[in-house]
Amino acid sequence: MLLKNASVLNGVFAFSNLDIEVNNGKIDNLYIQNEYNTTNHDEVLDLSGYRILPGFIDIHTHGCAGYDTMDATYEALNNMSRFMAMNGVTSFLPTTMSETYQSIKNAFLNIRNAIDKGVEGADIVGIHMEGPYFSKQYKGAQNEKFLRLPSITDVTELQELSGRNIRIISIAPEIDGAMEFIKEVSKDNIVISLAHTGADYDTALKAIEYGAKHATHLFNGMAGLNHRAPGIIGAVLDSGLSVELICDSIHLHPAIIRLVYKLVGADKIVLISDSMRAAGLKDDKYDLGGQEIIVKDGVARTKDGNIAGSTVTLLQCLKKVVEFGIRLEDAVKMVTINPAKVIGIDKCKGSIQQGKDADLVVINDRFEVVYTFVKGKVVIGHSPIHHKDLRAPCNA
């Protein structure tokens, strides 16, 4: 298959006039437009007037379209994957939250089974375990009755149960046992992310020294930055960690997003949706981690007023940061190659380069998704092209 005549965001994140040849789910070749013969391709898709971007990667999403990771059903994950593909996401980490240990086990096993079976939309490329190892003071929308101290034994069991698919564990470093946990678990190719925490600067630095490499939804669910007590935020920004930002105009002021962009640069920011099951649906009452969530004017809150995730898509977050003044090319990095690097799949995903998976999103000038390709397969868009189902994992 040949995708031709589009403006392509190439491997160095600059727009170029390239045609993309796809074979067996991979990007086989990239050609300068009009400099070769296209007649030897069985299928040619003319994308004149469109842009082709790398497929988006959402490493922090609880749910959407009425479904949640904690539902622990194939139907939930499959429909989440379909909704995400409609909005340009080609890979994602179903994200669990603080519930009973048995509920978490059920969710992990279900994710493993969905990975083995395959889903119809965006690829599931692992698990983000958000909770239950958090500070009660900064629990946010996490259910306090399910919070507990970190357990290496539990995570070892969960890692095996999941088929070794845990990519990220979010944790508050100041709680009892956290440092030993960070030191040991980070050895298992799991990214330790600092989250829902009131840790001071020195404690956060110690966690980073022990192996923490990432920060979950920076500024949200953590102690604030103070000029005399820089705390967790100061430590993260001072240490060069990668950081998640929820850019929905609710969780963070645009000025904060621009400040972080100037301070850490385009290569360390990862945009996330942090979406819950109301994403894509109307205002109503919903469930999140066993709690009633009220969505009003698109804002999800617990009964006591805490913001409870978001109702936006990663595509909407991308559009927002561009509106806030960040270059499109840099903004796309934040939803593609940057999250791929965080979870270690950048050798096969995250950019449009020869040999990588043909995970691509085609957009028009209004930022609307025209086509989404997952491993070369058209999952969103109208095309006569048919491809065999390719579910081979991304082996970094």
Catalytic residue positions, numbered: 274
Parallel, antiparallel, or unpaired: how do β-strands 2-4 and 56-61 relate? unpaired
Encoding tokens for residue 297?
């004017």
CA atoms of 75 and 120, how far apart (whole Å): 11
Burial class of residue 351, CB neighbours in 10 A (0-12, 13-18, 19+) = buried
- Indicate the length of the chain as a whole number: 396
